[in-house]
């Protein structure tokens, strides 16, 4: 059945509808990346920093995210079929692999052209390097245990720093708070990626992927994911007593912390497919709430 599905998927060049496109590029992740860029710029430069350059920074971050996820689905097609990932447009045959590959490649090229034309040389180098790392992840790094997870976690952390660097120099002391938020995002992202690999372990094993759960087992991987989630909740208290001190709106991050603590508990005591799939959605919602907390604190 899987072989027949692969053969049918590979025919033609098509994108069925806008919903399929948005699902392929994980549009909700792209919006989060753009918001992270804005947060980084706001913390360093305030409202005065929200200029055309920051808009370009959001756009190129969005395009790089489009490219990374599109190529990821292209490369992961066999594993996604084995894992019965009905949330993947390629598996559901609403987008062809050739279209996914084109969208991914075009997004990366367009992001770098725009960055070269409108951003300074350092910002362009960040986007170019980020693009290279994303492509390497899709084709090589994702099969390296923990390394692949770390690369994705970095992509969740970099937009904050990128937004700050657009409006300030790397040596500017005002970037330090952004690095803290970036570290929180990295820890959550690392835990989330390990958890997603646990969900996909059966299919990954069948196609020979060397993910962390395949190498060390689902139980040990779940413990590690929980450690990263809990570490992020501990680190989230640092802004409360430093650069966000006195800003009650930041307390919204406690909702994120509670969600991640509960998710960690579920990972340690129950790792059913239902829990893992719900955990993937829960962690994304938690990240979204955390971003809102960061944004409100940066604004007010």
Contact status, residue 126 vs residue 162, Cβ threshold 8 Å: yes
- What pTM does this model have? 0.87
pLDDT tens, residue by residue, 7-61:
344 467 889 999 999 999 999 999 999 999 999 999 888 877 788 999 999 999 9
Does pLDDT of 248 surpass 70? Answer: yes
pLDDT tens, residue by residue, 113-152:
999 999 999 899 999 998 999 999 888 888 788 888 999 8
Tell me what pLDDT residue 8 has.
44
Residues facing residue 15 across a β-bridge: 95
Average pLDDT for 171-197: 87
> Please, is 32 exposed, middle or buried when counting C-beta atoms within 10 Å of its C-beta (0-12, 13-18, 19+)?
buried
Residue with tokens 């997603």: 196
Tell me what pLDDT residue 47 has.
79
Chain mean pLDDT for the chain: 88
Q: What is the 3-state secondary structure (H, E, C) of the chain?
A: CHHHHHHHHCCCCCECCHHHHHHHHCHHHHHHHHHHHHHHHHHHHCHHHCCHHHHHHHHHHHHHHHHHHHHHHHHCHHHHHHCCCCCCCCCCCCECHHHHHHHHHHHHHHHHHHHHHHCCHHHHHHHHHHHHHHHHHHHCHHHCCCHHHHHHHHHHHHHHHHHHHHHCCCCCHHHHHHHHHHHHHHHHHHHHHHHHHHHCHHHHHHCCCCCHHHHHCHHHHHHHHHHHHHHHHHHCCHHHHCCCCCCHHHHHHHHHHHHHHHHHHHHHHCCCHHHHHHHHHHHHHHHHHHHHHHHHHHHC
Fold of 12-299: Farnesyl Diphosphate Synthase (1.10.600)
Tell me what pLDDT residue 202 has.
80
Cβ count within 10 A of residue 87? 11
pLDDT tens, residue by residue, 61-73:
999 999 999 999 9
pLDDT tens, residue by residue, 204-239:
777 777 888 988 998 999 999 999 999 999 999 999
């Amino acid at each position: 059945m899987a072989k027949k599905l692969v053969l049918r998927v590979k025919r033609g060049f098509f994108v069925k509808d806008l919903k399929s496109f948005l699902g392929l590029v994980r549009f909700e992740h792209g919006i989060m990346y753009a918001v992270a860029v804005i947060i980084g710029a706001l913390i360093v430069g305030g409202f005065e920093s929200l200029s055309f350059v920051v808009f370009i920074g959001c756009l190129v971050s969005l395009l790089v995210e489009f490219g990374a996820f599109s190529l990821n689905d292209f490369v992961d097609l066999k594993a996604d079929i084995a894992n019965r990932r009905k949330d993947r447009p390629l598996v559901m045959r609403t987008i062809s692999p050739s279209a996914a590959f084109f969208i991914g490649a075009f997004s990366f090229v367009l992001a770098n052209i725009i960055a070269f034309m409108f951003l300074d040389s350092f910002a362009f180098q960040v986007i170019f390097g980020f693009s290279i790392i994303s492509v390497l992840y899709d084709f090589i790094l994702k099969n390296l245990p923990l390394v692949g997870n770390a690369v994705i976690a970095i992509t969740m952390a970099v937009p904050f720093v990128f937004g700050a660097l657009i409006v300030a120099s790397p040596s500017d002391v005002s970037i330090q708070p952004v690095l803290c938020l970036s570290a929180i995002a990295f820890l959550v992202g690392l835990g989330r990626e390990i958890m997603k690999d646990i969900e996909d372990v059966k299919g990954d094993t069948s196609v020979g992927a060397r993910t962390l759960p395949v190498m060390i087992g689902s139980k040990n991987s779940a413990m590690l994911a929980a450690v990263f989630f809990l570490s992020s909740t501990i680190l989230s208290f640092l802004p409360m007593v430093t650069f966000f001190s006195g800003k009650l709106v930041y307390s919204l991050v406690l909702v994120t912390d509670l969600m991640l603590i509960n998710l960690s508990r579920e990972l340690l005591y129950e790792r059913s497919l239902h829990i893992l799939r719900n955990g993937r959605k829960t962690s994304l919602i938690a990240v979204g709430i955390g971003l809102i907390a960061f944004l409100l604190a940066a604004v007010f």
